[in-house]
Amino acid sequence: MTQTQHTNRPRGGSSEPLLSVRDLRVTFQRQGEEEFHAVDGVSFDVRPGQTVGLVGESGCGKSVTSLAIMGLLPGRGNRVSGSAIFDGEDLLTLSPAAMRDRRGSEIAMIFQDPLSSLNPVISIGRQVTEVMERHQGLSRKQATPKAVELLERVGIPDPKARLLNYPHQLSGGMRQRALIAMALACNPRLLIADEPTTALDVTIQAQILALLKELVVDTGTALVMITHDLGVVAGLCDEVNVLYGGKVVERGGRHGLFRDPRHPYTVGLLNSIPRLDAARGEKLSPVPGSVADNLPWTSACAFAPRCSQVVDACTRETPQWEGDQVVGHRCFNPMGGTR
Amino acid sequence: MTQTSESSSDATSDGTDVLVEASDLEVYFPIKSGIIFDRTVGHVRAVDGVDLTIHRGETYGLVGESGCGKSTLGKAILNLEPPTAGSVVFDGTDIASLKGEDLRRERKRFQMVFQDPMSSLDPRQTVENLLLEGMRAHGLDTDKDATRARLRELMSSVGLPVAALSKYPHEFSGGQRQRIGIARALSVGPDLIVADEPVSALDVSIQAQVINLLQDLQDELGLTYLVVAHDLAVVRHISDRIGVMYLGGLVEESDGAELYDVPLHPYTRALMSAVPVPDPQVEDSREQILLTGDLPSPANPPSGCRFHTRCPWKQETLCDTERPQLRVVEVDGASASHRVACHYAEQVASGEIQPHQVEAVSVESGFTGPVDGPDAPPEAYVGV
Amino acid sequence: MNDTTNHTTDDSTDHSTDDRTEDARGARPTFGQRRKDRIDQLATAGTVDDEPGVSLIRSAWKRLRRNPIFLIGAAITLAFIVLAIISPWIAPWDVTARPLLDKVRPQSNPVPGPEPGHFLGADDRGRDLFSRLLVGSRQTLIVGVVATLFGLLGGLTLGTIAGAVGGWVDSLVMRIVDVMLSIPSLLLAFTVASLARNPSQWTLVIAIAIIQVPIFARLLRGSMLAQRASDHVLAARSLGVRPTAIVFRHMLPNALGPVIVQATLSLAVAIIDAAALSFLGLGNPDQSQPEWGQMLGRAQPFITEAPHLAFYPAGCIIVVALGFTLMGESLREALDPKTRR
């Protein structure tokens, strides 16, 4: 019951990336309106067995990034460019049929709201076995014992009985577990989790996070964790990408980023979270303004109007990426710098 | 503190003013079923016997997970959700028994700030109208110039420009909307503000702005807050005292810092260990108590201690038969104001009782209707 | 940013007397300090531009103005209304005059065809068809609009009572409405219309209004209930706003959207229903006040020899109904909060 968490994991540092996203751009265009760059040149790597976090607030493009990689964006009204090389193939140029084959078998996704991502009129068991029937060519008979095994593995009590339940009969935490079971049905090599615990209570969140952690360690699946919660990132991710206004503004290893954040936005985020282990009365220092104040990246740093470290260059030119695929930031006047 | 009360205000032993005293508060929602005539087939016990005291000028934080009845309790204290039983004495007046016009007139003394700043602002009213409305309803808008000045003061006190007065709610960002919601609550000059999840709908960077604003306003106006939230870190940050709720009842109540240092109830411990801390070193080293299973249904709460079905410290006796009452315990570091509802709090604290594995209870008890019943899930009743 | 700050300071100097009284009373001793802090905070809260606010209706209108479907619907409707108003003056012939009476041969040529001066020909009485169509728009418009207005009024009253009061009043009103809805609407209209001893256009209006009342009542009641459960109504309640003010300031205005849309769509239905009742002889029998439905009804005996006699009024009804429907649908889209940005 009580478990002590593992220490810093030096896993996956040197191996070839499993997913390599380069200069991903997603542009939305609505009739009669200006183009909106939801994702504006995002690059990152995910190695086997590694957990990579995409962190940011609403509107930073983290969810759109994952949907674009999965080929799940609505067909009309958007443009996707760049590349997402998964195992030597560019996912962005695959045909819809080929992408469907990858989805669910090689790459799986977990969504924020488990109730709306499960089909309400099909039993949990059918939904899990269906994935295996579709991708592994199993018969329903062969798939059922595997489904029971999966449900048990994700910690659903009395899995045999649960097979016959419908999603509304399960609690939120159990639904999310069922969804994870579905995602794991075909042993995917990459798992993308989009705010998987945001709709859940903290005690349930702790259960789900522990489960995800365990799965990554046991199966070697790579995990892309999309979240707004830096606390979740701190406990789970090996590498963290902080997104702002559609661009990665800072990247670093888990310990490095939290110990020595360079970008003022990362610093601002960390300073604006009330911490359970801080004394009362310590004033929070919030990031002023809101994303509505952003400048366009084309001729400035989008964060400049809200930034405490702003210098002249910030409102005149686009800050370039300083660093590599492991550590770096995008700022003219970074903070800290002792690492 | 501009209001004067008719009755003399009670004073506790330590000399602080009691502003709100809720005793034995219950809010039950009937579960109805039937084809032609609705029959009451049971009750969702959203709030089930809560005693709560809030002192003047303090911030009381109410924390718990969804479905524990914390929001309902907040609303019941304001009589927005009429209590089924019990009393809420606000500065000498029992609000729970007030009705109609009498209640309406009292409302200027206690206000609410809502979770979702968009849905709690009428989309068809300008900010000015939203702010004027409460003043009008309580006859505070007699002098035109004074009213204008008051509006400007309200706007500046929540950090919004006067130009915002002529705008509509949909033209603001989430954080700005919440500021308008706070200004509206302040417009009638209340003593008590119940804030129901005031920051949980906001982005992280905006949350801190609103938390700071609430604190500044309290320092300035001497407000008393009841903050209802699911986020223990937020509650701990702004509260003087914290009450932890589980399944309709308070399980622990204490000074904020003390609760963190000496959590006595097993549920508080589990809750505290589940909150992620944005610091990898803390995350890697700390001990986590993972609870199994889900919250049982408030329509059919477990016997005895409500938490015994999930409690890693559960004992053979008492736990499942007798409901523990809040009591002061003799534990190092626990002061006289620290109360806990656990039969074995002392033994748990001393380590005499060690946690054990808990078999997850079948989830039928969770927030789900009966297998064959099309009943709406109880969230509909409780979560509001 | 700078603009807003300036604006604030300007305003405060204008009314500085208020502030001073505030200070003099000693209620807020640190007012100056506070103001300074607040101006710093203006930056924290993010910017608000100085433009006056744009209400939801105005922003819906902005979207509507660019919607081609709405524009087509509005053009048809507008043309119809203008024609209906000016028709008596532009109609080439009086509607009761029978200029082609001498061409009517009951056996060989019951309906005179088009000829110079009468480009749609005449009806079986030798009256100019085009003139009658033009003037007929008047009755059609009056019946459609007035009936919908009456129905709307009745529905609003019932729906507001049911939605605002709730409890047994709500149950009573809604059971009555259910009974009315359970009778097929046209059948109900026949029953009402046939009760009148002397059918006139007002019989039509009342009959159609009555069948529309339950539709509006149910719709409004539903959206009133949704409003009653909403956070902003709870907020108004917690503010201590009087119950009547809550109903009329917060619940009703926010609940009206779907009802307005329904009213636009109902206009089309009302026009078609009016035509149907007239067709069946339950409308205004007065030949001096032509109406499209009535004309359609009178065209029936000649449907094989002169289908155009039925085709023109039917076509007019369809086009006008389409106009209202297009407008209603695009209005619904524009008012839908999901499409709002």
| Residue B125: DSSP 8-state | S
Of the candidates B31, B9, B59, B7, the residue with the CA atom closest to the CA atom of residue B225: B59
Per-residue pLDDT at A211: 87
For residues C287 and C161, which has the higher predicted lDDT (pLDDT)? Answer: C161
Residue B107 φ then ψ, to 5°:
-60, -20
Q: Which of B107-111, B310-314, C92-96, C264-268 has the highest mean pLDDT?
A: B107-111
User: pLDDT per residue over B202-236, tens digit each?
Assistant: 888 888 889 999 999 999 999 999 999 988 889 99
In order of their start, the domains of chain C are 2-45 (no CATH), 56-339 (1.10.3720.10)
Contact A201 B207 (CB under 8 A): no
Tokens describing residue C262: 């329904």
**Which pLDDT band holds residue B365 (cuts at 50, 70, 90)?**
very low
**Which pLDDT band holds residue B243 (cuts at 50, 70, 90)?**
very high
Per-residue pLDDT at B187: 93
Per-residue pLDDT at A279: 67
**Which pLDDT band holds residue B88 (cuts at 50, 70, 90)?**
very high
User: pLDDT per residue over A210-254, tens digit each?
Assistant: 888 888 888 889 999 999 988 899 988 999 999 998 999 999 998
DSSP structure string for B166-203: GS-GGGS-HHHHHHHHHHHHHTT--SEEEEESTTTTS-
- CB distance from A3 to chain B under 8 Å? yes
Is beta strand A36-46 parallel, antiparallel or unpaired with respect to A19-28? antiparallel
Q: How far is B316 from chain C (nearest CA, A)?
A: 45
Per-residue pLDDT at B375: 33
Q: How many domains does chain B have?
A: 1
**Which pLDDT band holds residue C63 (cuts at 50, 70, 90)?**
confident
* Range in A4-18, A162-176, A296-310 with the lowest mean pLDDT: A4-18
Torsion sign, CA atoms C334, C336, C339, C341 = positive
Give me the amino acid identity at B30: P
Q: Is-contact B343 B319, C-beta < 8 A? A: yes
Q: Which of B286-290, C121-125, C170-174 has the highest mean pLDDT?
A: C170-174
**Which pLDDT band holds residue B54 (cuts at 50, 70, 90)?**
very high
Q: Is-contact A176 A141, C-beta < 8 A? A: no
Question: Is B102 part of a structural domain of the chain?
Answer: yes
Neighbours of chain A (3+ CB pairs under 8 A): B, C
Quote the strand ranges of A199-267, DSSP E. 222-227, 239-244, 247-253
Measured between alpha carbons, how far is residue B141 from residues B60, B131, B150, C198 in Å? 31, 11, 9, 57
- CB distance from C178 to chain B under 8 Å? no
Whether residue C232 has pLDDT greater than 80: yes
Q: What is the CATH number of the domain that holds B163?
A: 3.40.50.300
Tokens describing residue C17: 């007397």
Question: Is B295 part of a structural domain of the chain?
Answer: no
Neighbours of chain B (3+ CB pairs under 8 A): A, C
Q: How far is A208 from chain C (nearest CA, A)?
A: 32
Whether residue C250 has pLDDT greater than 80: yes
Tokens describing residue A252: 């670093």
Contact C45 A293 (CB under 8 A): no
Question: Is B347 part of a structural domain of the chain?
Answer: no
Of B80, B111, B164, the CB nearest to C48: B164
Contact C46 A288 (CB under 8 A): yes
Q: Which of A4-8, A52-56, B4-8, B331-335 has the highest mean pLDDT?
A: A52-56
Whether residue B335 has pLDDT greater than 60: yes
Contact C249 B159 (CB under 8 A): no
Per-residue pLDDT at B151: 92
User: pLDDT per residue over C284-301, tens digit each?
Assistant: 777 777 888 878 877 878
Per-residue pLDDT at A4: 38
Q: Is-contact C155 C255, C-beta < 8 A? A: no
Per-residue pLDDT at B33: 75
| Contacts with A274 from chain B: Cβ below 8 Å | 207-208, 211, 231, 233-234, 236-238
Whether residue A311 has pLDDT greater than 70: yes
Whether residue C22 has pLDDT greater than 60: no
* Range in B16-30, B255-269, B286-300, C213-227 with the lowest mean pLDDT: B286-300
For residues C38 and A41, which has the higher predicted lDDT (pLDDT)? Answer: A41
Residue C40, burial from CB neighbour count under 10 angstroms (0-12, 13-18, 19+): exposed
Of C35, C44, C235, the CB nearest to B209: C44
Of the candidates B7, B98, B106, B90, the residue with the CA atom closest to the CA atom of residue B55: B90
Question: Is B258 part of a structural domain of the chain?
Answer: no
Of the candidates B219, B204, B216, B258, the residue with the CA atom closest to the CA atom of residue B236: B258
| Contacts with A172 from chain B: Cβ below 8 Å | 294, 367
**What letters, b where the CB count within 10 A reaches 16 and e where it falls short, cover B230-242?**
bbbbbbbbbbbbb
| Contacts with C239 from chain B: Cβ below 8 Å | 107, 111, 133-134, 137, 184-185, 187-188
**Which pLDDT band holds residue C167 (cuts at 50, 70, 90)?**
confident
Cα(B126)–Cα(B155) distance, integer angstroms = 13
- CB distance from B170 to chain A under 8 Å? no
3-state secondary structure of B138: coil
Contact A3 B204 (CB under 8 A): no
- CB distance from C43 to chain A under 8 Å? yes
Of B162, B175, B188, the CB nearest to C11: B162
* Total count of residues recorded for chain A: 339
Contact B236 A274 (CB under 8 A): yes
Helical packing angle, B266-274 and A202-219, nearest 10°: 50
Which of C44, C48, C339, C341 best tests the A interface by mutation, with the highest count of A CBs <10 A?
C44
Contact B209 C54 (CB under 8 A): no
Of B78, B119, B163, the CB nearest to C232: B119
Which residues 134-153 in chain B show a CB within 8 A of chain A? Answer: none
* Range in A54-68, A279-293, B264-278 with the lowest mean pLDDT: A279-293
Cα(C24)–Cα(C18) distance, integer angstroms = 10
Question: Which residue do the tokens 């003390």 mark?
Answer: B258
Question: Is B149 part of a structural domain of the chain?
Answer: yes
Per-residue pLDDT at A280: 62
Whether residue C116 has pLDDT greater than 50: yes
Of the candidates B105, B90, B104, B115, the residue with the CA atom closest to the CA atom of residue B182: B115
Neighbours of chain C (3+ CB pairs under 8 A): A, B
Which residues 102-161 in chain A show a CB within 8 A of chain B? Answer: 155, 157-158, 161
Question: Is B64 part of a structural domain of the chain?
Answer: yes
Q: How far is B30 from chain A (nearest CA, A)?
A: 21
Q: How far is C282 from chain A (nearest CA, A)?
A: 49
Cα Rg of chain B (Å, integer): 22
Q: Is-contact C41 C8, C-beta < 8 A? A: no
Cα(B47)–Cα(B28) distance, integer angstroms = 7
Residue B200, burial from CB neighbour count under 10 angstroms (0-12, 13-18, 19+): middle
Enumerate helices (H) and strands (E) in chain A, giving the number of each.
11, 13
Which residues 47-66 in chain C show a CB within 8 A of chain A? Answer: 47, 66
- CB distance from B284 to chain A under 8 Å? yes
| Contacts with A286 from chain C: Cβ below 8 Å | 44
Cα(A124)–Cα(A151) distance, integer angstroms = 10
For residues C192 and B55, which has the higher predicted lDDT (pLDDT)? Answer: B55
| Contacts with B369 from chain A: Cβ below 8 Å | 168-169
Measured between alpha carbons, how far is residue A222 from residues A52, A184, B350, B375, C47 in Å? 8, 12, 42, 40, 41
Contact B220 C230 (CB under 8 A): no
Cα(C283)–Cα(C140) distance, integer angstroms = 11
- CB distance from C46 to chain A under 8 Å? yes
Whether residue A185 has pLDDT greater than 60: yes
Cα(A284)–Cα(A272) distance, integer angstroms = 5
Whether residue B368 has pLDDT greater than 50: no
**Which pLDDT band holds residue A264 (cuts at 50, 70, 90)?**
very high
Q: Is-contact B191 B1, C-beta < 8 A? A: yes
Cα(A217)–Cα(A223) distance, integer angstroms = 11
Q: Which of A96-105, C27-36, C44-53, C117-126 has the highest mean pLDDT?
A: A96-105
Contact B294 A204 (CB under 8 A): yes
Whether residue B294 has pLDDT greater than 90: no
Cα(B298)–Cα(B65) distance, integer angstroms = 13
Of the candidates A67, A54, A58, A66, the residue with the CA atom closest to the CA atom of residue A242: A54
Q: What's the distance, CA B98 to chain centroid?
A: 21
For residues A251 and B334, which has the higher predicted lDDT (pLDDT)? Answer: A251
Per-residue pLDDT at A12: 45
Whether residue A32 has pLDDT greater than 70: no
Per-residue pLDDT at C47: 65
Q: Is-contact B186 B111, C-beta < 8 A? A: yes
Of A3, A258, A274, the CB nearest to B279: A258
Torsion sign, CA atoms A294, A299, A305, A310 = positive
State the virtual CA torsion across A142, A144, A150, A153 in degrees, nearest 10: -110
Q: How far is B368 from chain C (nearest CA, A)?
A: 23
| Contacts with A160 from chain B: Cβ below 8 Å | none
* Residues near A20 by beta carbon (within 8 Å), at least 6 away in sequence: A45, A46, A83, A84, A85, A86
3-state secondary structure of B21: strand
- Domain extents in chain A: 107-185, 251-329
- CB distance from A286 to chain B under 8 Å? yes
The chain-wide mean pLDDT, for chain B, equals 83
Torsion sign, CA atoms B292, B298, B302, B308 = positive
Which residues 173-192 in chain A show a CB within 8 A of chain B? Answer: 173-174
Whether residue B175 has pLDDT greater than 60: yes
Question: Is B109 part of a structural domain of the chain?
Answer: yes
Whether residue B9 has pLDDT greater than 60: no
Cα(C332)–Cα(C326) distance, integer angstroms = 10
Nearest CA in chain B to C50: B163
User: pLDDT per residue over A93-122, tens digit each?
Assistant: 888 888 888 888 889 998 888 778 888 888
Residue C307 φ then ψ, to 5°:
-60, -25
Question: Is B365 part of a structural domain of the chain?
Answer: no
Question: Which residue do the tokens 């009572």 mark?
Answer: C161
Cα(C41)–Cα(B272) distance, integer angstroms = 33
* Range in A9-23, A240-254, C51-65 with the lowest mean pLDDT: A9-23
Which domain range does residue B43 map to? Answer: 18-239
| Residue A263: DSSP 8-state | S
Tokens describing residue B351: 């380590």
Cα(A128)–Cα(A143) distance, integer angstroms = 9
Cα(B313)–Cα(B284) distance, integer angstroms = 24
